[in-house]
Structures are given as structure tokens and as C-alpha cells.
Amino acid sequence: MIRGLVLVLLLLVPAPAGALDETIRTIASRPPVTESFVLIRPSRAPAASLILFMGGRGALGLQRGAVSPRNTNFLVRSRQRFAERGFLVAVPDVPSDRTSEALVRFRTSAEHATDVRALIATLRAEADVPVWLVGTSMGSVSAAAVAARLSEGGPDGIVLTSSVTGVSREMGESLQDVALDRIRVPVLMVHHRDDACRVSRYADTSWAMRRLSAAPKRELLTFSGGDAPQSEACEPLAPHGYFGIEERVIDAITAWISAAKP
């Protein structure tokens, strides 16, 4: 069934000068639901495919066209940088049946895993390379939950950045709601030592790493420094979003992925 996924939308999105072209695609994920995403192809054969999950409500607003330049989420604003390093990049929007609620209280659901499995299959058809899920903040809940649920058709590895480990009444989910001990692919955790977001404390990465007991390879990369924050603690233009050290963080993530053996 996955092989028969139909691309129902193909739109070329204008990109800034010097940037790689961004395409918006829409695929069938679970009847009658569709999933739209931004696709960026690298200028050479990809080393791997990356699905980037933004935090917050997870809505890109692709039904209105290109990604808004006002979206400063760490992974969204860095999507071109990942592609420039030789990775096929997909940034998903919310599924068509979640335009109102977005991904709030949905990231750990079976339906979310089904949608992502369809996207993984699409990327495997694009390039015969490993597929990794990379999440930031609440997006890390998506990456971890999908990897825990999908024993077949799942990712080859995951990267969890600025993970939400504390209880969030607004979002209703965190890594505490994920069966981390069921993840059986390589896992990289990335966190800023000075992350002041109350639900994303650096100190909480230790229990998450312990619970990732079935992962064949796992590591925590710690970062520090950056520019003075220009947003609240849980927002992207702060240590929570690696503000001012994006290049260093992306280099470390892509090097780790390239060296890992799924």
C-alpha cells in the first residue's frame, strides 16, 4: 500500500538567492488524510534523508504556500543548512485532519506514526539511503514516539534536540509519555547546557539517556555559548534554539549521522 502513495501536489517554492530549491509535496498518509511537506534536494547524491520536526504546535502553514520567513524554529530556519551538507531534507506540516488542533496531544499517537511512516516510505523511494528523524523541542517527542512505535517501516536513527522532558500543560505530551526503552535505532541527544526552558532542562537529559537502554548506540552532545537571547527561554532565538551557534550544532549532528551505522 505504501508503494502506491500518490503525490497529489507538486509546487516549486521560490528560494532565496543561492539557496537550494524547495518543493512542497502532498502525499496520502492514512485514508482520507494527506500530509504536506517541504522537500529540499542537495546538490549531490544524499548521504541520508532527514525529516525535521519543528516544536510548538508543529504547523508550517503550507496550505498558504511557502514557509513563512517569520518561522524562526531552529530546524525550520536551518533546513537549507542541512541540505547544503549533502542531506535530502523534508519538513512536514500537520496532517490534513489536524489543521485546527495541529500536533497538540497528537505527537505520541498511532496516527502520527502512520503519517510519518508514509513520509519515510516516500523518502526511501526518492533515495536509497538511511532515513533519520530529527526533532527539536516538542518535535523531539514526535521523533522519539515514532521510532518507539514503528518496528517496521520506521527510521534508521533519530536525533533529539532541546527535548521537552517536563510536563507541558499546553502541549499535553513530553518524552515522559514515550516508551524510550522500545527505541532500537541509534539515538543522538543534543542539548544546550544553558537552556532555561522550564520543560527542557539540561539536567533531565540524564534520565532520558538511561531509558534509551535498547538503542544500539546513544550519545549526548552538550553545547554552550551563542548570542544574547532575543526571545523567551522556550522560544527559538535563545539557547533553547542554539541561537548564534547553529553552524556548530548542525556540523556536529550531520557528522554523527554520517558516522553512525544504522
Q: What is the CATH number of the domain that holds 237?
A: 3.40.50.1820
Per-residue confidence (pLDDT) for residue 18, from 0 to 100:
64
Measured N-to-C along each axis, helices 110-126 and 138-149 cross at an angle, to the nearest 10 degrees, of: 80
Q: How many domains does the chain fold into?
A: 1
Residue of 123, 95, 117 whose CA lies nearest to 23: 123
Q: Per-residue pLDDT averaged across 40-67, rounded?
A: 94
Query: pLDDT tens digits for 87-135?
Result: 999 999 999 999 999 999 999 999 999 999 999 999 999 999 999 999 9
pLDDT tops 90 at residue 2:
no
Q: Is the pLDDT of residue 11 over 60?
A: no
pLDDT over threshold 60, residue 253: yes
Q: How far lies 31's CA from each of 96, 106, 116, 231, in Å?
A: 11, 17, 14, 39
Domain that holds residue 247: 2-259
Q: Would you say 141 and 175 are in contact if contact means Cβ atoms under 8 Å apart?
A: yes
Dihedrals φ, ψ of 37, to 5°? -155, 155
66 pLDDT band, cuts 50/70/90, is confident
Report which secondary-structure segment, H or E, holds 61.
none
User: With bands split at pLDDT 50, 70 and 90, how would you rate the model's confidence at 167?
Assistant: confident
3-state secondary structure of 84: helix
pLDDT of residue 5: 38
Cβ neighbours of residue 248 under 8 Å, at least 6 residues apart? 223
Q: Using the predicted structure, report yes or no on whether residue 246 has a pLDDT greater than 60.
A: yes
How large is the average pLDDT for residues 164-168? 88
**pTM for this one?**
0.92
